[in-house]
Amino acid sequence: MTTDPTLASAPWSRRRFLGATVTASGLALAGLAGCSLGPSSSKDPSIDTGEKDAWGGEVDEQGIEKPDVTFTDMNGEPFPFVEKTRGKLALLFFGYTNCPDVCPVTLQSLNRALESIGTGPGSDPMVLFVGVDVARDTPKQLQTYLGRINPTFLGLTGDEKDVIGEANKQVFNPPIAIEEPDANGEYAVLHSSRVLAYSPTDNLAHRYYPGDDVRPQTWVQDLPRLAKGEYQ
């Protein structure tokens, strides 16, 4: 994958702008999921606008490479990402298990779509959830959290900087930010809301989705096509 050297040397490369917009103060805005501590403010992804056949998400012709790191899965086993996902439709999402809105909405939307698809192309993608709040997103907690949504979803963890932070950086997501705890010890985590869809044919993500804003029907339409290596 070729890269413009003038962009590669900059703190925010072209691809990182795909997932975030940076203000003059350097604050990453679009693409960051500010998981609040209050009631959910996410849109209801179950609402069907009636659009058919149009692709959801955004397209990246060049494709985003997979993060070349080894996670630890929620069963305590090493998970070399590139090797384990080679030749498979893999959906990668960074979040945290205490997120009250963006993460559960995204995962529930995917689960409902898979229930609708049933069998055939697009029915068995690898849904990979990286728990970025390492203090609370333990393997056991990931098992419990994802097991309540869909037991086939796989939770991934690892060293906060060398594994999770590095993987997040390699896919050009905005940096993960953990806020200061409130009086009750609760805290929010800022993370990208993107779901990267890695193709089973060339192992690149040519399409990515704004997680909690994607309706189940969009996944129902796109997953079978993505499973065939299509992206536009």
CATH number at residue 82: 3.40.30.10
Maximum distance among all Cα pairs of the chain, rounded to whole angstroms: 50
232 domain residue, yes or no: no
Residue 209, domain extent: 5-35+44-227
Q: How many domains does the chain have?
A: 1
14 domain residue, yes or no: yes
156 domain residue, yes or no: yes
Say if residue 60 is exposed, middle or buried (CB neighbours under 10 Å; 0-12, 13-18, 19+).
middle
Model confidence pTM above 0.75? yes
> How high is the pLDDT of residue 53?
73
CA 41 to chain centre: 19
Q: Among candidates 109, 134, 83, 106, which has minimal Cα distance to 33? A: 106
Digits of tens for pLDDT over the chain (232 positions)?
Answer: 433 333 333 343 323 333 442 222 333 444 565 564 444 334 444 444 445 579 999 999 999 999 999 999 999 999 999 999 999 999 999 999 999 999 999 999 999 999 999 999 999 999 999 999 999 999 999 999 999 999 999 999 999 999 999 999 999 999 999 999 999 999 999 999 999 999 999 999 999 999 888 999 999 999 999 999 999 9
212 domain residue, yes or no: yes
220 domain residue, yes or no: yes
